[in-house]
Structure 1
Amino acid sequence: MTSSSPKTDPRLLTLISAIAETPAARISGQVLTTFHGRAGKQLLTDGFLAAVGEETAVTSMADHDDEPVTLSPSPDGRTFGYFSSNAGWVVPATKERAVYGLQFGPLFAKLLEGLDCPQAARPIELIPHILWEVGAARVPGRAARVPVWISRRLADPSTWQALLEQVRRRPAPGLRVILSLTPDERIPQSFVHGHEIVAIQSVTDFDHGIRIDPDILAARLANGRLDDSPVTMTADGGSITVRGKTYTFTGTKQRAIIRHLYEAWCSGDPQCLTAEVFEAAGSGDQVRSLGKAFKGRSDWREFIKEEGGQCWISL
């Protein structure tokens, strides 16, 4: 009889996320050793962190001072250190002088091992050191594979704009998942058509190291992102939730109409010319009213108003 493996501390992924949010995805050896000893050691053992250089300054531990001190060559030229009035010549340990960087290949391979993404270990950079394409994942409940990108630093305005530009240049083929090392609460609230942006921490199974749980991800895609907005929509446009009630639409043109109205609502200018909505949805000249577009159901009237040649989501 074998015992089950111990549950992984979620703080391991919290540390990974914190490092990933830095501009170069790096952490100093002194910070890693002083504040993240156990987690840092685990990341090094797993190959998710590796030494990429050395610091030229450290915090003086001998003088109990928070000010950094510059490292200088020793008199014999063999080591680097600093002079302390309390301890004399101090040589920081090698691990404290080192600078460690995240190793995205091994990290992505582990995170995605339950999703069968073919490019997980050899991700393609779409934005250097910021956004990667890792292939298409198998997600429970979905007949087709779902394309997946992985991102970091989405809380940074310039990074967010760069992501939106990539989305504009490479539209999603129905639905694309963007797995983010940025925590949910720091991801911008903007709606990105055809994309579900999911914080990796929110869909991780810590019973198997750190790996994304396919079932949790499937539930997230089905229910969309939870926030305080009274109106939310799933990334594929299949359902919209208004004041806690979810409405599901299967028709392509109906989804296009709902999506158009939702995007207008998000923009702060919800009223749309009905004719323009139909044109954007590709409904043709045969459809001249929402009643005809949604023939066979009336629940859309609970949150959509149509009047004077205009229509809009109304709360």
Structure 2
Amino acid sequence: MLVAFGRAGPPRPAPLIADLVWDVGTITLSGAKGPVPVWFARRLGDPAVWAQLEALVGRRPPQEIRIILTSTPGERIPEITQKRNHIINVADVAGDAAKLAISPQVLGARVFPGQAQRRFPIDHSDDYGIVWLRGETLTFRSDKQRQLLGLLFDAYWSGSPECRTAAVLFEAGYKDGTNAFSKVFNGRDDWRSFIKYADGNCWIEP
């Protein structure tokens, strides 16, 4: 996965939590002040595993930042309390999804977005993974959530913001069982501050 990076560390990942978390060494990442430690973790959607990881990063804080790569899909990764740890699904930063080789440019953009709110009261990053709303920063990790936000924002900027809810959910890749935004954004309510819906329609309204 890290073939495109300058990596330092042991030839094989060192286990930190048996069968769950490994230390992969450090990589050189544009934008970082020094070598960036990298871990790999799995099964982060399991509350027991997540609790172990939170405890581990609490005991071992990074000097600047740490990247924790994972096979867990972005929508199943909880919000970490230790903000210097960036938990990223491998497929989200792969230069070639078929090979799972991580792109230094894509990973760098995720860790150091280098973007700021340009339009007010609402704006978003190029990949719709970050939404800025009146000074508040909202982060969306799921590919499908970002796809959905892209559709809604495209309509918003076009001047015709209303979309058919069923149509945008289908186009974003949600199955028939996901028929409400409460299911799309399961476990969080901050989307309600800028996404509105009524009578089968939905739209951005900051």
| Equivalent position amino acid for 1:218 in 2 | G
Does the residue aligned with 1:223 lie in a helix, a strand or coil? coil
1:197, distance to aligned residue in structure 2 (A): 0.8
Gaps of 5+ in 1: 1-110, 235-315
Does the residue aligned with 1:163 lie in a helix, a strand or coil? helix
Is the Cα–Cα contact under 8 Å of residues 117 and 135 in structure 1 kept in the other structure? Answer: yes
Distance 2:47 2:132 in 1: 21
1:139 aligns with 2:42: no
Q: Alpha carbon RMSD of aligned pairs, Å? A: 2.7
Corresponding residue of 1:167: 57
Q: 1:161 to 1:213 in 2, by over 3 A?
A: same
1:207, distance to aligned residue in structure 2 (A): 7.5
Corresponding residue of 1:193: 83
1:115, distance to aligned residue in structure 2 (A): 1.8
Is the Cα–Cα contact under 8 Å of residues 69 and 90 in structure 2 kept in the other structure? Answer: yes
Distance 2:106 2:25 in 1: 19
Corresponding residue of 1:226: 129
Distance 1:152 1:184 in 2: 12
Does the residue aligned with 2:112 lie in a helix, a strand or coil? helix
Q: What TM-score, normalized by structure 1, do the two folds share?
A: 0.36
Q: Which has the larger radius of gyration?
A: 1
Is the Cα–Cα contact under 8 Å of residues 112 and 120 in structure 1 kept in the other structure? Answer: no
Q: Which has the higher helix share?
A: 1
After superposition, what is the alpha-carbon deviation per residue over 1:69-123, rounded to whole angstroms, capped at 9, x for unaligned? Answer: xxxxxxxxxxxxxxxxxxxxxxxxxxxxxxxxxxxxxxxxxx1111222237411
1:118 aligns with 2:21: no
Gaps of 5+ in 2: 115-127, 140-206
Is the Cα–Cα contact under 8 Å of residues 131 and 138 in structure 2 kept in the other structure? Answer: no
Corresponding residue of 1:177: 67
Is the Cα–Cα contact under 8 Å of residues 58 and 82 in structure 2 kept in the other structure? Answer: no
After superposition, what is the alpha-carbon deviation per residue over 1:127-169, rounded to whole angstroms, capped at 9, x for unaligned? Answer: 0010011111111233411111111100000000000010111
Moved more, 212-221 or 222-231: 222-231
| Equivalent position amino acid for 1:226 in 2 | G
Q: 1:152 to 1:184 in 2, by over 3 A?
A: same
1:173, distance to aligned residue in structure 2 (A): 1.1
1:212 aligns with 2:93: no
Distance 2:42 2:97 in 1: 24
Distance 1:131 1:207 in 2: 22
Is the Cα–Cα contact under 8 Å of residues 91 and 97 in structure 2 kept in the other structure? Answer: no
Is the Cα–Cα contact under 8 Å of residues 149 and 178 in structure 1 kept in the other structure? Answer: yes
Q: 1:113 to 1:164 in 2, by over 3 A?
A: same
Distance 1:194 1:233 in 2: 16
- Structure 1 stretches (4+) deviating beyond 4 angstroms? 227-230
Aligned ranges 1:77-88 → 2 under 5 Å: none
How many aligned residue pairs are there? Answer: 124
